[in-house]
Amino acid sequence: MDFAFGDRAESLRARLRELIGEHLPPDFLSPFTDDPEDFALTERFCRVLGEEQLLALAWPREHGGGGGDVWEQTVVREEMWAHYEPRGPQYMGLNWVGPALMRFGTPEQQERFLPRIAQGEIVWCQGFSEPDAGSDLASLTTHARPDGDGWRVSGQKIWTSYAQMAEVCVLLARTSRDGRPQQGLTLFLLPMDRPGIEVRGIDSLLGAHHVNEVFLTDVVLEPGDVLGELDQGWRIVREMLAYERVGIARYARCDRLLVRHREALAERWEELPQALRARYVRALVHARVARLLAYQVIDEQSRAVVDDADTAAARLATTRLDQEVAEVLMEGAGVTALAPTGHLGAPLHGAVEDHYRYAFASTIASGTSEVMSILMARAIFGGNDGSATAG
| Residue-number span of the structural domain to which 349 is assigned | 236-381
Say if residue 219 is in the same domain as residue 286.
Answer: no
Instruction: Summarize pLDDT for 184-231 with one digit per residue, the tens.
Output: 999 999 999 999 999 999 887 766 667 899 999 999 999 999 999 999
Say if residue 250 is in the same domain as residue 371.
Answer: yes
Say if residue 200 is in the same domain as residue 260.
Answer: no
Say if residue 34 is in the same domain as residue 117.
Answer: yes
Q: How many domains does the chain have?
A: 3
Say if residue 363 is in the same domain as residue 259.
Answer: yes
**Residue 353 counted as domain residue:** yes
Instruction: Summarize pLDDT for 231-259 with one digit per residue, the tens.
Output: 999 989 887 776 666 667 889 999 999 99
Instruction: Give the CATH number, domain containing residue 179.
Output: 2.40.110.10
- CA nearest neighbour of 237 among 118, 108, 104: 104
Instruction: Give the CATH number, domain containing residue 372.
Output: 1.20.140.10
Instruction: Summarize pLDDT for 39-61 with one digit per residue, the tens.
Output: 899 999 999 999 999 999 999 99
Q: Are strands 226-227 and 185-191 parallel, antiparallel or unpaired?
A: antiparallel
Out of 201, 231, 261, a domain closes at 231
* DSSP bridge pairs for 325: none
Q: Supply the DSSP string of 83-131, one letter for each residue.
A: TT-TTTTHHHIIIIIHHHHHHH--HHHHHHHHHHHHTT---EEEE--BT
Give the single-character DSSP code of 190: E
Say if residue 176 is in the same domain as residue 57.
Answer: no
Say if residue 217 is in the same domain as residue 350.
Answer: no
**Residue 221 counted as domain residue:** yes
**Residue 227 counted as domain residue:** yes
Residues 314, 82, 357, 39: is their CA dihedral positive or negative? Answer: negative
Say if residue 104 is in the same domain as residue 211.
Answer: no
Above 50 in pLDDT, residue 76? Answer: yes
Among the ranges given (133-142, 272-281, 297-306, 334-343), the one the predictor scored with the smallest mean pLDDT: 334-343
Three-class SS of residue 156?
A: strand
Say if residue 102 is in the same domain as residue 114.
Answer: yes
Q: Beta-strand (E) ranges in 108-241? A: 124-127, 143-147, 150-158, 168-174, 185-191, 197-201, 212-221, 226-227
Say if residue 308 is in the same domain as residue 332.
Answer: yes
- pTM (predicted TM-score): 0.84
Three-class SS of residue 143?
A: strand
**Separation between Cα atoms, residue 316 and residue 293, nearest integer Å:** 10
* DSSP bridge pairs for 143: 154, 174
Q: What is the pLDDT of residue 388?
A: 43
Instruction: Summarize pLDDT for 160-171 with one digit per residue, the tens.
Output: 988 999 999 999
CA 295-305-247 angle, to 5 degrees, is 40
**Residue 389 counted as domain residue:** no
Out of 175, 199, 231, a domain closes at 231
**Separation between Cα atoms, residue 65 and residue 106, nearest integer Å:** 18
Say if residue 303 is in the same domain as residue 338.
Answer: yes
**Residue 390 counted as domain residue:** no
Say if residue 175 is in the same domain as residue 262.
Answer: no
